[in-house]
Amino acid sequence: MIELYTSPTPNGWKASVALEEMGLPYEVKAIDLSSGDQKKPEFLVLNPNGRIPAIVDRDANNLTVFESGAILIYLAEKSGKLMPSDIAGRMNVIQWVMFQMGGVGPMMGQANVFFRYMEEKIPTAISRYQNEGRRLFEVLDGHLAKNEYLAGDYSIADIANWCWVRTHSWSGISIDGLDNLSRWMGAIAERPAAQKGIVVPYDITAVLKGEKDEDEFKKSARKMVTK
């Protein structure tokens, strides 16, 4: 059994979508970011950086893994799914996971901070991160013009990027004209495992659409970015 310590964020969804896709049994341990659960000593034992997600594999001598990209790779290796076994195929998947870890996630995360959460609006910062997010989306769109998925067959690379890109409107980043990206997003959104994974530990779809409790959600997020 895998214990998943998570919150409803793109990085958290990466782990839960992967677990659902791979059919691995797991138990959810919800972390309340607004209350600072991720900074408590018991969680810092799992991840000294105080970020979600983290997993503990009780069937592997309580092996603990943090950083969402590392978790994806670990789960793929454990299950033998969603990543090829040959070196070329593995590197193709891993490089697109790193593309998300080093680019899409950080740029969208900063766009969220300046566009949504900070009380002081700094136009140059907002445009800087939204424009870079859009540029990265265009890279994905260009690649997807020639490929159904990012690295051959559907893989953890698609999970990593999709869990972030699907929240583009929250970051204020347009996907207008990116038809290949939209096609790919829609295909993954139809997968039953993806649908299950994005409501772990609870469903915030209405919040992301601005239909429910948006102000309270932003207040909680604001507390986190100012700590």
State mean pLDDT over 40-44: 97
Which DSSP string corresponds to 143-203?
Answer: HHTS-SBTTBSS-HHHHHHHHHHTTHHHHT---TT-HHHHHHHHHHHT-HHHHHHTTSSS-
The per-residue pLDDT for 226 is: 45
The per-residue pLDDT for 162 is: 98
The per-residue pLDDT for 153 is: 97
pLDDT bracket for residue 216 (50, 70, 90): low
The per-residue pLDDT for 215 is: 61
Mean residue pLDDT across the chain: 94
Q: Of residues 226 and 4, which shows the higher confidence score?
A: 4
